[in-house]
Structure 1
């Protein structure tokens, strides 16, 4: 590579010193990786086995290869297609090396930030590397898409696994094939690699032998200090949850109290990140008496806590406590993600038993029909679920890092490899970002609960089919008649908009489907004071999602005021504001409580 006036020649002495330091840090990194192995029983047969995930990748992609090999003519045509593309690229690159103009053979997608640096296009060598990667990766993707004779689940898994491999092998991830990283390393005389290796060792140590890629600076946040700071009191506690009642900021409040059911796969304070974008704080400011469940971070003691336990000791216990605190027997409720799935199950149970205490339901990016559940279905076939269950049986729970990794794998270039490059190659500490701090604050999942969820939702889809059995009761969502506000987001990788749309038809009452911009988090946490995205309304979710969107009305700004208007119309009566701890339940301590502080 040639240098120019903007890239000074490296300091050879500094480069040599940093090379020595790099070797020292590499030794530390290797030690951090090997430590758990060295402490394990050397006769343990598990040490000799590759991870189950690796076996499944090899098996799945091997199936695709086999299907191509049974048809030599088709295989030959595929190889010729790749060869033709490279011949064209060689010709294009030759013209560019002669100083002539040449049209690119392959261009990155508009949203692909890996190749934004100018030299990926202006330098013929790096342009060749970039286009070679794009041609090869797209060719491999076509092989998976066009393979004959494989079932759709296997094809889906192959597409997902190939995306992980393609993301890992991108030339943008490596110093010697990335022009930006070469310049960066020369400018710093290799000091960036030393810092990066040091951070790599720290992150492997933090992951106890497994790499836990840091996405933010955790020292910039503390729960209850600058995240999860809405004032309130814990008014109830049991083995599974603490119930927080938030302090009012208005003289009067809606008579019907409001219960938030967050997901247990994350901590509740995604809805209370800071005062400027706290959905909980905003709800309080509108005159709602807000209660929020804060789930325990489970350990081996909670191994047998199943889905019914979370319903009985979670939602139903919360409604009982709200009744004691406020004197009200009915509540409105909102469920976020899997918390919404649990809320739907509870509604179906109440409809089946006649114990109807939830009179209005809001679902935030929630699935009840898992037919179109997206890439997470990759992890939910019988073989993989048995593997997960075997791992959970040893400890009684699934480590929080497992789910965090799965979510990151849905967008590997943005959520994994961009941080790998920034942290371990550029040697730059990630900036402090509250959303990513919350994302890294992982929670475990009890074995019984997670097994039920995977099997009944992702694998067998029993809730949508009216076949889910809980407490010897068959649950039928068609019996749920309460008004429902069903929010989806357009770019959701966890609860796809189509999945939420089609799930709307499973209920027996009126469902208002609303589509917000952005994804699973940003589409929900979109405050009116600083709205980044708009939303679409169009009434009931009927027909095809594409047709619903075409006919829908687009609104600028946050969906929050629109939703509150919908909620207030159902029960507009108001009463004097309720002070936490002054009702039938005394305070057990200030919000955000103790359970949220438990680390995985």
Structure 2
């Protein structure tokens, strides 16, 4: 054996610490200088619109609200010295247990010792093996988990807080703990640290360049990219179902989709999507498209595509959206098909508007909507989830003041609020991937849609926040629309009420309670997954499940306990329900029906307008 051969085993043994050692200090120094240059560009992109007066930051208001909320929690713990000492002792005890465990691990003792609470199941933040095997990162991670758990417990154990203050405190603690995770920082994340060393800081140069680009794209605000936006184009590889825009007014276009069967069901299907984001969530691609699937089942499908509003639409309120949106669609459908009855679907806030419109129609003796389907829709906002954190008089007043300037709420504000509901999934992983790892996000149609934000007209959005989230007027028979006081019990048509078990925006319990306030027969169904994936779940995917046929009487928990679980998509279940109401088959109807001249191809021009 030669000396060279003898050296091979020794050279092949690399110490784990080697991954943390900079191999090329000169290259690292050059890249740090380049990173700082890119960071300077990002800072300039942020500062310049503010210097020109184009942006006025309002961060002081939410920060003040956070401090005010936490001060009420602090009052409870500090008002009693014994209670304060117990809280401090609890935290210090957790830290001592962690230290003891770490010392045992360093000594090679695997005996049972007090352990930190484990990360949540499949927590991707701590997927790197060194969070477990490296004593430093293991201690860091568990210290973070103990502290987060302790902070949450301070809020949950606080007495004397009103429900809204407690809810805000829980939400703010969740935001802070998500932001302060050691996985979000270069020095405290082993994967990031090793990647930076291996590339001599190239990842940080790319990341700061992307940060500058994203602030420029947001015109001085960070427009966090969650998907590779260059890979999608509406009308080409997204929102592709064939159809025509057959009518339009100031606030919407009406799309009729081309038939895909030899005959169609007699009663047309009208879809009222939310105007927060765009309708093509129901037409992402041919495999996921609910619209295409419904057409293939024999429905004549009409969809409202809402305008992306600007200053001209500032005064468009809920009555305008009911009359010029839903009413206009009903008039158009009757003109094209000759049918005086439709089956209607409302999704999220589109469903809330549809419910209010149905209550109005009941008083006006307008019976053109013969059945209604609600997709993850709230009509009672008692249990409306974390979005209620933003709905108190002070915060709504602040939003109204901001809308006064331009006549609308910028879509990025709502996008940020929705992302904050799941910050650990929708904000911080992308911050780490984009700006610290310097990697472009993967193309994902759902996240492309999520980033394609829409504005909200001032009058419309103010009415929605006050009447639904703040005062809960619709479910308490106090909502005023077109000179009428609305009553949900007046809605006596058959209803299919779809909720999603993990919905953070329209919680399943909330949808269930609201559905019980309707005056007609209600079929409640709960899909697996959340607000989007629970709805956009085509049968061919074979994913998730749904629950149905729970006991008709009783509360939500009783319904869940008694419901039947069925694997897969709820779409066929819904079709069986609605097809019984849709009548016999009739000859197919082409877009426009020979009565209206199509304006343009689907998905139309309104949906193409960017913020």
TM-score by length of 1: 0.97
Query: Which residue pairs with 1:170 in the alignment?
Result: 181
**In structure 1, how many angstroms separate the alpha carbons of the residues matched to 2:218 and 2:25?**
35
Out of 292, 295, 310, which is 2:306 matched to? Answer: 295
Asked if the contact 1:265–1:445 (Cα under 8 Å) also holds between the matched residues in 2, the reply is yes
Out of 513, 517, 536, which is 2:524 matched to? Answer: 513
Query: Which residue pairs with 1:40 in the alignment?
Result: 53
User: Does residue 12 in structure 1 map to residue 21 in structure 2?
Assistant: no
User: Does residue 406 in structure 1 map to residue 414 in structure 2?
Assistant: no
**In structure 1, how many angstroms separate the alpha carbons of the residues matched to 2:75 and 2:15?**
45
Q: SS at 1:176's partner residue?
A: coil
Query: Which residue pairs with 2:354 in the alignment?
Result: 343
Out of 63, 67, 78, which is 2:76 matched to? Answer: 67
**In structure 1, how many angstroms separate the alpha carbons of the residues matched to 2:245 and 2:47?**
43
Deviation at 1:16, TM superposition (A): 2.1
Q: Tell me how many residue pairs correspond in the alignment.
A: 596
User: Does residue 276 in structure 1 map to residue 282 in structure 2?
Assistant: no
Q: SS at 2:264's partner residue?
A: strand
**In structure 1, how many angstroms separate the alpha carbons of the residues matched to 2:64 and 2:261?**
58
Query: Which residue pairs with 2:6 in the alignment?
Result: none
**In structure 1, how many angstroms separate the alpha carbons of the residues matched to 2:479 and 2:15?**
65
Deviation at 1:223, TM superposition (A): 0.5
Q: SS at 2:532's partner residue?
A: coil
Aligned CA distance change for structure 1 residues 186 and 541 (closer, same or farther; 3 Å): farther
Deviation at 1:7, TM superposition (A): 7.1
Q: SS at 1:28's partner residue?
A: helix
Query: Which residue pairs with 1:83 in the alignment?
Result: 92
Give the 5 Å matches for 1:99-138. Answer: 99-101=108-110, 103=113, 104-138=115-149
**In structure 2, how many angstroms separate the alpha carbons of the residues matched to 1:571 and 1:284?**
13
Q: What value does the CA root-mean-square deviation take over the aligned residues?
A: 1.6
Deviation at 1:38, TM superposition (A): 1.8
Aligned CA distance change for structure 1 residues 541 and 222 (closer, same or farther; 3 Å): farther
Out of 394, 400, 412, which is 2:405 matched to? Answer: 394
Out of 491, 495, 498, which is 1:487 matched to? Answer: 498
Structure 1: tracts of 5 or more residues without a match? none
Query: Which residue pairs with 1:22 in the alignment?
Result: 35
Deviation at 1:583, TM superposition (A): 2.9
Query: Which residue pairs with 2:60 in the alignment?
Result: 51
1:479-522 alpha-carbon deviations (Å, 9 max, x no partner): 11100000001100000000011111110010000010000000
Query: Which residue pairs with 1:376 in the alignment?
Result: 387
**In structure 2, how many angstroms separate the alpha carbons of the residues matched to 1:350 and 1:165?**
46
User: Does residue 567 in structure 1 map to residue 569 in structure 2?
Assistant: no
Give the 5 Å matches for 1:407-486. Answer: 407-486=418-497
Asked if the contact 2:550–2:561 (Cα under 8 Å) also holds between the matched residues in 1, the reply is no
Out of 396, 399, 417, which is 1:385 matched to? Answer: 396
1:59-79 alpha-carbon deviations (Å, 9 max, x no partner): 111221122211111111100
User: Does residue 149 in structure 1 map to residue 160 in structure 2?
Assistant: yes
Query: Which residue pairs with 1:238 in the alignment?
Result: 249
TM-score by length of 2: 0.95
Deviation at 1:582, TM superposition (A): 3.5
**In structure 2, how many angstroms separate the alpha carbons of the residues matched to 1:388 and 1:77?**
40
Query: Which residue pairs with 2:3 in the alignment?
Result: none
